[in-house]
Structure 1
Amino acid sequence: MIDNGPYVLGIDYGTESCRVAIFDLAGRPLTFAATPYPTNFPHPGWAEQDPEDWWKALQASAHRAISNAGISPSAIAGISYDATTFTMVTLDSKGESIRPAIMWMDNRATTQAARAEQSDSVARLMNNGGKGAAPAENFPFKAAWLKEHEPENYARAAHIVDAADWVTYKLTGEWTANINTHSIRSYYNRAQGGWPVDFYEAVGCGDLFEKVPERVVNLGEQIGVLGTIPAQLLGLRPGIPVAQGPGDAWAGQIGLGVLSPGTFALITGSSHVLSGQSDREIHGEGFWGSYTDAVVPGQFTVEGSGVSTGSVLKWFKDNFASDVVAAAEKVGLNPYDVLNAQSRDIPIGSDGLIVNEYFQGNRTPYTDSKARGIMWGLSLAHTPAHVYHAIQEAVCYGIGHSVKAFKDAGVNVEKMVACGGSTKSRDWIQMHSDVTGVPIALTEVGDAVVLGTCMIAAVGAGLYKDLPEAGANMVHEIDIIEPDPQRHEQYQFYLDKYMRSFPLMQSLIHELVDHEAAKH
């Protein structure tokens, strides 16, 4: 019997790989396929990828996904996608890349971000009434850096877009700006007139809008159809509706069903993002937002997040646990499972060892691109297992700090719904709950990011009327992890020391970062 679906296909451009998934309209996955690509780190704080690697990875993942699903390409009724945010792609008039993409985690534009704080319009645009630093990873600062340091590339660029908007062009030939990325990372505010041109001028790239797509599109809106050439390359049929996709973390929020106020999404992976919705504009110290229409039209999105979380665990695994990796590979085990087992009995607080995970800068609560990691309390009694455990705790402390920031602004995080790498470890997700004191729900589909893109695809194809309706049909909670009150109380001492440590070292870290930057 021929299976005509309908099914929807989601594309996830993460930091490490391009994943393609196919889901039915009940939110059940048929298949997943992933293809990795490299990240280059030319200097400390820099990170780049080649968009050509992305395109090749998508082709490989799409062909495997269709083959593994065992369905005809004609059964795919809609497509959407997500990508890392804000990853800046620079293209010429033919749509070809001019230089490597400057990744979301790249913090080279610290000078341009610092300049933004002197702008008269900064209080209008930034959270906390203008308090705090501007994040160097945001769009205008990366663009200003490019204009100042690579003027020939800037002048040659006909299009400077976010990675998600690059995907739009590759699939449909259309140039659009997705409202999610640009509300959250580019200071676009529909309620305040759209683009803050005066702010971009103050930063040094007021002419950037000649290179930015004019059409700003809501998530789930059909932006076009899959073109003939990309369809051939991807093994799909041309003419499939393509819906506007978001940044990856917010695809995860959608895939967790966090589409109304009250519950927060905890998206874990190379970075952690804690995001949720509000029916009113919210501001306060230590978090970002609120962002108008960024996920659901008429609502406001708020965010607390860390730049380097799971990536710090990977750093430890790759550089200090080669023996564990080798032994695990011999017997077919996941090295993280072995590391988790080795550190499981380390007590709360890691016997007095505290790690600060700001290895690649800080988003919240300090918004400090010059932030770097700290490890303190070391003694001769500490082992590699202690360090690994302390890194896990650091990531949880970062989320705990965000929960406190929201609470101080009058927003209680009553429940989190989690997805991503940390959910693969029951002990670590329990640690998140114990540190924060917040129950954490798990959903049937752990890979909520690609589910979110498939929900968006279903809306764009007209299979559901909007994202809340798609969420009601495609997201299914299956478990809830409750915090242990005693462990939560014990963790408060260490959380307090974690929160107090970075401000004491901040100026020294800045001096060190500036000294190293002067060498390049």
Structure 2
Amino acid sequence: MKYVIGVDLGTSAVKVLLMNQEGKVCHEVSKSYPLIQEKSGFSEQDPHEWVEKTTLALKDLVEQFDGDVASIEGISFSGQMHGLVLLDDNNQVLRNAILWNDTRTTEQCQQIYHLVGEERLLAITKNPALEGFTLPKLLWVKQYEPEVLEKAAVFMLPKDYLRYKMTEQIHSEYSDAAGTLLLNIAEKAWSNEICDLVGLDPSLCPPLVESHGFVGELTETFAQATGLAKTTKVFAGGADNACGAIGSAILTEGKTLCSIGTSGVVLSYEETKDRDFGGKVHYFNHGQEDAYYTMGVTLAAGYSLSWFKDTFAKTETFEALLDGLSEVPIGANGLLFTPYLVGERTPYADATIRASFIGMDASHERIDFARAVIEGITFSLNESIEIFRESGKTIDTIISIGGGAKNETWLQIQADVFNAKIVKLSSEQGPAVGASMLAAYGSRWFNSLQECAEVFTAEDKVYEPIPQNVEKYQALFTLYKDVYQQTKGLNEGLKSFRKN
């Protein structure tokens, strides 16, 4: 039997997955690492932590494996998008990585619009200038830490730095590069035009390869540290959302994914590079060659629920917290929640807005609040689906993965709010499976990623929308959308009172 490893470098932990040729998960190991949040809006990590914890996770995985390590033929990656890692001429890290959920760069986003122009930026990158993207981070460093940028020889994305430390080869690939605001999405090339307009040296941009591209073998040092064979082939990998799409078989026209992790995304496959959403949703290169996907983002999806649990039920499990969820009526007995704990991405791109509970009274119990949080997260994701439908896309079947796929009541809520059939997969490991599939395809086990998906993915259960529930949720969704406009000014006023 042959095997591959998928490495998912997430925001809070790295997960490594060993899969065999039959698409079965044989072993899984996860190691966590901390966020560094020195100021409000700042979110950083030490890249060395990624390497250290991944090394330990792979070592544990190999120790659990009772076969010949040489039969582990390939390894590939999924990674948190947009993060900025800067290396000097000796490929040494110059500062902590600035992460996707860092919101310090509002000023730099305005600079990009001034220097490039909003229309030209959308024409080249297919995306608006948002705080989470990589280019605003580069401009922040240029403005506030010029001595750091002067020493920089190359920028890297998180999983690409991890892969470099395993192979000593520097690359990026299109699905992650698409989230930098420096890639010409249609031409699949770094944009010298944008680099020139914002005053960055194009040589900072790493060489580009396909997600399934072979980029080298493990170094002797890394092989010894993990117990893996030095002959293990290393493949480029993809952005976490692209890998989540691959691992959920979102590989043909008409396929849509809802993934609820720390953030939440609604992602839909695109065959062409020229659809125009006017920057309302993201438009990225897929991990499948010459394919694309559109994506809307809720910044605090699963995070909203974990925040609620940690604040009001810290010692309890999620199962205990949600016990009785199905018995609470639609609308949580007149309670609405907007999941803007850290601002919002789609459709508002607002770093100042914050969350609200609307309609509280003395009759509400904790489970009503829990139901309202779950409905609010789902409403936020539905705003992305609404944009897709308004553009002419048909969204009638959605694969649901992540935290939202772990609770049957929440899966039915998704079906009713989205007014679409919701499919739960029989074995759902998200982006780590997509990374494993890229390694399997790169190792030439299959002729295509679609062929690989037929072996590595399978449907488990389908949830159909219930017409009377759909009608109630449509009325509630109209009220939900009003909350943003009604609280926007209030939150702008409250900004000066927040912790710095």
Q: Which bin holds the TM-score, normalised by the shorter protein? A: over 0.9
In 2, the alpha carbon distance for the partners of 1:24 and 1:45 equals 41
Normalised to the residue count of structure 2, the TM-score between the two structures is 0.94
Q: What amino acid maps onto 1:353 in structure 2? A: L
Once the two structures are superposed, residues 134-179 of structure 1 have per-residue CA deviations (whole angstroms, 9 ceiling, x without a partner) of: 2111111011111111222222222221112112211211111210
Query: Are residue 437 (structure 1) and residue 419 (structure 2) matched?
Result: yes
Contact 1:125 1:187 in 2 (8 A): no
Structure 1 counterpart SS, 2:164 = helix
Q: What amino acid maps onto 2:359 in structure 1? A: G
Q: What amino acid maps onto 2:354 in structure 1? A: R
- Which of 147, 151, 169 does residue 146 from structure 2 map onto? 151
Contact 1:362 1:369 in 2 (8 A): yes
Query: Are residue 254 (structure 1) and residue 246 (structure 2) matched?
Result: yes
Pairs within 5 Å for 1:148-227:
148-192=143-187, 194-202=189-197, 204=198, 206-213=199-206, 215-227=207-219
Shift of 1:354: 1.3
In 1, the alpha carbon distance for the partners of 2:44 and 2:62 equals 30
Once the two structures are superposed, residues 75-114 of structure 1 have per-residue CA deviations (whole angstroms, 9 ceiling, x without a partner) of: 1011001110111112233333222211111111111012
1:509 maps to what in 2?
A: 491
Query: Are residue 415 (structure 1) and residue 410 (structure 2) matched?
Result: no
* Percent identity of paired positions between Structure 1 and Structure 2: 25
- Classify 1:347/1:208 alpha carbon distance in 2 versus 1 (closer, same or farther; 3 Å): farther
1:244 maps to what in 2?
A: 236
2:360 maps to what in 1?
A: 378
- Classify 1:497/1:285 alpha carbon distance in 2 versus 1 (closer, same or farther; 3 Å): farther
Structure 1 counterpart SS, 2:322 = helix
Contact 1:286 1:364 in 2 (8 A): no
Query: Are residue 68 (structure 1) and residue 64 (structure 2) matched?
Result: yes
2:220 maps to what in 1?
A: 228
Structure 1 counterpart SS, 2:344 = coil
Q: Which has the larger displacement, 192-201 or 273-282?
A: 192-201
Q: How many residues align?
A: 499
Q: Which has the larger displacement, 404-413 or 175-184?
A: 175-184
In 1, the alpha carbon distance for the partners of 2:185 and 2:263 equals 28
Query: Are residue 108 (structure 1) and residue 129 (structure 2) matched?
Result: no
Pairs within 5 Å for 1:133-144:
134-144=129-139
In 2, the alpha carbon distance for the partners of 1:371 and 1:156 equals 36
Q: What amino acid maps onto 2:484 in structure 1? A: F
Contact 2:62 2:226 in 1 (8 A): no
In 1, the alpha carbon distance for the partners of 2:482 and 2:492 equals 17
Q: What amino acid maps onto 1:464 in structure 2? A: F
In 2, the alpha carbon distance for the partners of 1:209 and 1:129 equals 16
Shift of 1:401: 1.1
Contact 1:287 1:302 in 2 (8 A): no
Shift of 1:320: 1.9
In 1, the alpha carbon distance for the partners of 2:100 and 2:148 equals 19
Gaps of 5+ in 1: 329-334
Q: What amino acid maps onto 1:210 in structure 2? A: S
Q: What amino acid maps onto 2:6 in structure 1? A: G
Pairs within 5 Å for 1:448-487:
448-487=430-469
Query: Are residue 49 (structure 1) and residue 45 (structure 2) matched?
Result: yes
Structure 2 counterpart SS, 1:19 = strand
Structure 1 counterpart SS, 2:162 = helix
Structure 2 counterpart SS, 1:352 = coil
Q: What amino acid maps onto 1:38 in structure 2? A: P
In 2, the alpha carbon distance for the partners of 1:283 and 1:390 equals 34
Once the two structures are superposed, residues 450-496 of structure 1 have per-residue CA deviations (whole angstroms, 9 ceiling, x without a partner) of: 11110000122222233222212222222212122211111111111
Shift of 1:133: 5.8
- Which of 81, 84, 101 does residue 85 from structure 1 map onto? 81
Structure 1 counterpart SS, 2:56 = helix
Structure 2 counterpart SS, 1:233 = helix
Q: Which has the larger displacement, 151-160 or 80-89?
A: 151-160
Query: Are residue 122 (structure 1) and residue 115 (structure 2) matched?
Result: no
Q: What amino acid maps onto 1:242 in structure 2? A: V
Structure 2 counterpart SS, 1:273 = strand
- Classify 1:233/1:208 alpha carbon distance in 2 versus 1 (closer, same or farther; 3 Å): farther
Shift of 1:499: 1.5
Contact 2:70 2:231 in 1 (8 A): no
Q: What amino acid maps onto 1:65 in structure 2? A: L
Pairs within 5 Å for 1:366-405:
366-405=348-387
Query: Are residue 284 (structure 1) and residue 286 (structure 2) matched?
Result: no
Structure 2 counterpart SS, 1:191 = coil
In 2, the alpha carbon distance for the partners of 1:38 and 1:22 equals 25
Shift of 1:129: 11
Contact 2:341 2:355 in 1 (8 A): yes
- Which of 337, 358, 373 does residue 355 from structure 1 map onto? 337
Shift of 1:119: 3.8
Gaps of 5+ in 2: none
Once the two structures are superposed, residues 225-276 of structure 1 have per-residue CA deviations (whole angstroms, 9 ceiling, x without a partner) of: 1121111122201121111111112211100011111111112211111112
Shift of 1:380: 2.2
Shift of 1:212: 2.0
Q: What amino acid maps onto 1:347 in structure 2? A: P
Shift of 1:415: 0.9
- Classify 1:129/1:455 alpha carbon distance in 2 versus 1 (closer, same or farther; 3 Å): closer
Structure 2 counterpart SS, 1:10 = strand
Shift of 1:405: 0.7
In 1, the alpha carbon distance for the partners of 2:459 and 2:419 equals 20
In 1, the alpha carbon distance for the partners of 2:98 and 2:388 equals 30
**Cα root mean square deviation, aligned:** 2.2
In 2, the alpha carbon distance for the partners of 1:416 and 1:351 equals 28
- Classify 1:388/1:344 alpha carbon distance in 2 versus 1 (closer, same or farther; 3 Å): same
Pairs within 5 Å for 1:259-278:
259-278=251-270
In 1, the alpha carbon distance for the partners of 2:75 and 2:2 equals 12
1:331 maps to what in 2?
A: none
1:36 maps to what in 2?
A: 32
